[in-house]
Amino acid sequence: MRRFAHAATLVLAACSPEKAPEPAATPTASASAQAPAPVPADAPVILAFGDSLYAGYQLNPGEGYPPRLEAALNAGGVPAKVVNAGVSGDTTAAALQRLQFTLDNQPVKPTLALVGLGGNDMLRGLPPAETRANLDAILTEFDSRDIPVVLTGMLAAPNLGADYQKQFNPIWPDLAKKHKAGLVPFFLAPVLGKKDLMLEDNVHPNARGVDKIVAETRDQVAKALKAATAE
């Protein structure tokens, strides 16, 4: 696994390759310090099912993508409760294993799901065919429960080679089309190569970086949520 660490330094990896304890975050000057808008009691639920990019790796409580997205949606007049089901270090295979348990134990059925996985598969050099099959199965499970999905995509690091990229990168647009899911082509696009928006590992966004990602994805998520609640 460690021979793929260089890929992570290219900030094209999705999350921590290991589920090691995460050190306390250093407080940052971010919009996350602002008091969030109140969430209505009957707000529809969005399930954020992914890896450390959803889990909020090395960030303070309230600074990760799910809570910041929730705050942005409600502040913009779109009621939503975003449930954080991100697990740092998850591969698509590990996520698939916990999916049914996660869904079965939600107090309220999610109106929409966000699925952000695949970076750890790439970090570990797992065969793209396995990543595709696992994500396909994950989306099929959501389909079977009538839960619409927005996929947040990943790209392979260039140093893994053109053949790997050719197999890996199309997974998300292909599956979004197959399952009629929404698609954010590359989740890390707003922070890629911007050190001031990244943690010291140059892989994960810091709190300011999370806010940039939220700003780029909020409208698409809001549109998908409104479509789901209208069904």
Which sequence positions are flagged as catalytic?
52, 201, 204
Burial of 114 (0-12, 13-18, 19+ CB in 10 A): buried
Give the C-alpha separation, 160 to 7, whole Å. Answer: 8
Sequence-ordered list of residues with C-beta below 8 angstroms from that of 221, at least 6 positions apart, any chain: 46, 69, 73, 112, 114, 150, 182
Count, in order, helices (H) and strands (E) of the chain: 9, 5
Give the C-alpha separation, 35 to 117, whole Å. Answer: 29
Residue pair 31/218 in contact by the 8 Å Cβ criterion: no
